[in-house]
Chain A
Amino acid sequence: MTWINTNGKSDMRLFFLLLILFFQFSSFAQKTYTFSEELKFVNYLQDNKEYTDAISVLQKQKNANIRFLSSQQDSLHYYLGWSYYNLKRLDTAEAYFSKVKETSPFYNKCKFYESFCTIYTGKYDKADSIFRFFKTDSSGNEAKLKNFELAGISLLNRDYKRFDSLSKKFTDDYFPIISEQNNFIKSRKKLADMKRKSPLLAGAMSAVIPGTGKLYAGYTGQAIAAFLQVVSLGAVAGEAYVRDGIKSPQFIVFGGLFSIFYIGNIWGGAASVRVKRKELNREIDNEILFDLHIPLRRIYN
C-alpha cells in the first residue's frame, strides 16, 4: 500500500510507473508516415524485388486525400512506373513514366524507359515522337544514348536511310552503348543481305517438283516431308489407276488425296516464303529490342 501513500517517495514511484505505461500504450496508436519515409520504404521494397507490395504502398499514398507537391507527384509516378516495368506490365509503366515532369531528377530515366516500353509494345512512331520532344545536351552522353535509341527505332521501322544518317553519329567514347551500336550495324547488314524471295517462284517450283518451294524458302526438313507425302500418294494413285482403272474406289480415294496434297504443297510452298521472311524479321527485331534494352539497364540501374 506504499504506492498510494502521500509522501514524496511514493509519488515518484507512481510517476515512473505511469510514465512507462504511457510510453508503452501511446505507441500502440496507428503511426502515420511522411511521404519521404514512404518513398524510402518503397525503395527498400524495390531493392528486395517486392514490386507488388511497392505498388500497394504507392497506390495507398496516391489514393490518400493529400495535396502533393509537384516533385512528390513525380516521385510517385516514377516509382509506380518502375514497379510496373519490373512486373513487365509495360503499358501501365509507360503511362506512369510519361507523367513525370521535366523538373524531376528522374525525368531523363523516365523518358528513356517510357520510350522503351512504347517500343516493346510495338508503337514505334510514338516512341520516336517521345524523343522528338525530349531535349538533351547535344554533346553529352544522354544525347549519344538518344541517338542510339533513335537509330534502333529506325531499324525497327526499316528506315535504312535514317538509320545510316544516325549511325554516322555513333561514337566509341561512351562505353555502355559501344557493343550494342556494333550490333545495330550487324543487324542493318543482315537486313540488307536478306534476299527478297518470290512466293510465285516458290509456288511454281513446288508445282514442278513437290517440296522444292519450301526448300527455296529455307525449310529443308519440311521440303523433304512434303516431297515424300505427295510423291507416295501420287504413286499409290497411279498404281490403283493401272491395276483397277479410273473408276476403282482405291483410285478415287488416293487420286483425291493426291490432288488435295499436291495443291496444298503448291500453296504451302508459296506461303512458306512469307512465313520465313516474317520469322527472320521477328528474329532481327528481337535482337534490336534486346540491344535497345541492355544499355538502359547498364546506365540507369
Chain B
Amino acid sequence: MKYYLICISLFAGFTINLFSANYFHEADSLFRAGNFKAASVEYERTAYFAPDNILFTSALLKKSECLKQLQQFKDAFSVLLRVNFVGLSDSLIYEVRYQTSLCAYLNGNFNEAESQLAQAHHFIHDTTLTSTSLFLYGLILNEQGKWADAKEKILKGIKSSGFHNFQQDSLISIINNLYVQQNYPKLKKLSKAQTLSIFIPGLGQIYAGSGKHGFINAALILISVGYMGFNIYTHHYIAALTVSSAIFQRFYSGGINHLEFLVEKKNHELMRKYNDKVRDIIVDAERNRVKK
C-alpha cells in the first residue's frame, strides 16, 4: 500500500504536466510548424474546454503569442483582457500582466501598457517576478517622456537582472550618462512656434526644425506684401484690399496652421532618436548578457 502511495504521489506532478501538455499538444505542434492562425484557433479551443481557470489563462496566453507572431498586437491585447485573475498564482497573474503590457506597448498604446505594469508591480510583491519587467517598464515610460522615472526603472532592472559585475557597472555608467537633463530630447512647444510665426513669419518653422519651410513661407509672404505695396503704389486700392490681402492672409495663416504638423513631426523624430538609443542599449545588453 505504501508503495502505491509513493508511486501515485511521484506521478502526480508528472500526470498534471502531461495533462496540460495533452491539452496543448495539437495547438503546440501547429505553432511549432509556424501555422499561427490555426494554432490560435486551437488554443482558443483549449481555453473553451479548459477545466479550470489556470489552463484557460495559459491557453489565452498562448493564443496571444500566436497573434503576436501574426503582428496582430491589438487582437493579442484584447485576448489577454479576457483573463479572469481569480484563483491564479502570482506568477501567472504577472505573466498575463506583462504580456498585456507588452502587446499594448507594441500597439503604441503606452498609457494602457503602463497601467498593466503598474498593477502588476502594485499587487505582486515578489520582486523576483516583477524585476523581469523593469526594462519594459522603462521603455514605456520613455515613450511617455517620463525620463526620470524611466531611468529609475532601468537602473533597477540592471541591478536585478543578474548581469556580471563588469557588465552591470558598464551599463549603469552608460545609463547614468544618457539620462541627464542635457541629453533629454528638447521637445518643441507648439504655442512657442506659433507665437514666433505670428510676429516673424517663418521663424516658427525654423524653431520647429524645418528651415526650408520657414524660408519658403517667409518668401511667399514677402511676395504677397510686395504685391500689395505695388497695388497701393499704382493706386489699385481695391486690388490691394481684396486680392493681395487675401493672398497674404492665406500664406500667413497657412504657415501658422502648418506648424502643428511640423512640431509634431520634429518631436516624434527627437523622441525616436533618444528612445531608440535606450532601447538598442537594453536589447544589446540582454543579447550579450554575461551571467554572474
Give every chain A residue within 8 A of B235 (Cβ-Cβ): 243
B11 touches A232 (CB 8 A): no
Residues 13-37 (chain A) with a chain B CB within 8 angstroms: 13, 16-17, 20, 24, 27-28, 30-31
A91 within 8 A of B: no
B37 touches A239 (CB 8 A): no
With both chains docked as a complex, state the minimum distance between the C-beta of A210 and any C-beta of chain B, in angstroms: 14
Cross-chain pair count, CB within 8 angstroms: 56
A57 proximal to B (CB < 8 A): yes
Across the interface, do A24 and B18 meet the contact criterion of CB distance under 8 Å?
A: yes
Contact A24 B22 (CB under 8 A): yes
From B11, B41, B82, B239, contact of A250 by CB (8 A)? B239
Q: Mark A128-156, 1 if CB is under 8 A from B, else 0.
A: 00000000000000000000000000000
Instruction: Establish whether residues A50 and B26, one from each chain, have CB atoms under 8 Å apart when the complex forms.
Output: no
Q: Tell me whether B261 is interfacial, beta carbon within 8 Å.
A: no
**A235 to B242, Cβ gap below 8 A?**
yes
B245 shortest CB reach to chain A, Å:
10
Structural contact, B236 and A243, CB atoms closer than 8 A? yes
Residues of A near B15 (CB, < 8 A) are: 20, 24
B244 closest partner in A (C-beta): A236
Residues of A contacting B4 in the complex (Cβ-Cβ under 8 angstroms): 16
| Complex-state Cα separation, A16 to B3, whole angstroms | 12
Q: Is the CB of B41 within 8 A of A236?
A: no
A16: chain B residues within 8 A (beta carbon): 4, 7
CA distance A254 to B247 in the complex (A): 14
Report if A53 contacts B (CB, 8 A).
yes
Partner-contacting stretch, out of A41-49, A182-190, A276-284: A41-49
Q: Is A157 an interface residue (CB 8 A)?
A: no
Separation in Å of the A141 CB from the closest CB of chain B?
Answer: 34
Query: Cβ of B239 and Cβ of A41 under 8 Å apart?
Result: no
Interface residue tally of chain A, by bracket?
A: 20 to 34
Q: Identify the closest chain B residue to A24 (Cβ).
A: B18
What interface size band does chain B fall in?
Answer: 20 to 34
- Are A57 and B242 within 8 A (Cβ)? no
| Chain A contact residues: helix, strand, loop or mixed | helix
Interface string of B40-76 (1 = CB under 8 A from A): 1100110010000000000000000000000000000
B18-32 residues with Cβ-Cβ distance < 8 A to A are 18, 22, 25-26
How many angstroms between the C-alpha atoms of A49 and B114 in the bound complex? 26
**What is the CA–CA distance of A243 and B11 in the complex, to the nearest angstrom?**
107
Output the nearest chain A residue to B14 by Cβ-Cβ distance.
A24
Q: Which residues of A contact B123 (CB under 8 A)?
A: none
Contact status A41-B48, CB under 8 Å: yes
Q: Which residue of B lies closest to A54 (CB)?
A: B41
Closest-CB distance, B22 to chain A (whole angstroms): 5
Q: Which residues of A contact B246 (CB under 8 A)?
A: 232
Please pick, from A24, A56, A233, A240, the residue contacting B236 in the complex, using a CB distance under 8 A: A240
B residues in contact with A56, CB < 8 Å: 37-38, 41
Q: Given that A31-B26, A56-B37 are known contacts, is A20 also in contact with B45, CB under 8 Å in the complex?
A: no
The docked-state distance in angstroms from the alpha carbon of A28 to that of B11 is 18
* Given A24-B15, A48-B82: A53 touches B237 (CB 8 Å cut-off): no
**B221-276 contacts to A (CB < 8 Å):** 234-239, 242-243, 246
A233: B residues at CB distance < 8 A: 242-243
Please state if B18 and A232 are interface contacts (CB–CB under 8 Å).
Answer: no
- Shortest C-beta distance, B60 to chain A (Å), equals 10
Query: Which of A13, A28, A50, A240 counts the most chain B CB atoms within 10 A?
Result: A50
CB contacts (< 8 Å) of B238 on chain A: these are 232, 235-236, 238-239
Q: How many whole Å from B7's CB to the nearest CB in chain A?
A: 7
Is A41 within 8 A of B45, CB to CB? yes
Cα A235 to Cα B243 with chains together (Å): 10
Question: Which of A30, A44, A232 is in CB contact (< 8 Å) with B243?
Answer: A232
Please state if B44 and A53 are interface contacts (CB–CB under 8 Å).
yes
Residues of B within 8 A of A (CB): 3-4, 7, 11, 15, 18, 22, 25-26, 37-38, 40-41, 44-45, 48, 82, 234-239, 242-243, 246
The 9 closest A-B pairs by CB, nearest first: A232-B242, A239-B238, A236-B239, A24-B18, A235-B238, A53-B41, A27-B22, A44-B48, A28-B25
CB pairs A–B below 8 angstroms (19 shown): A13-B3, A13-B7, A17-B7, A20-B15, A41-B45, A44-B48, A45-B44, A45-B48, A56-B37, A233-B242, A235-B242, A236-B238, A236-B239, A238-B238, A239-B236, A239-B239, A243-B234, A243-B236, A254-B239
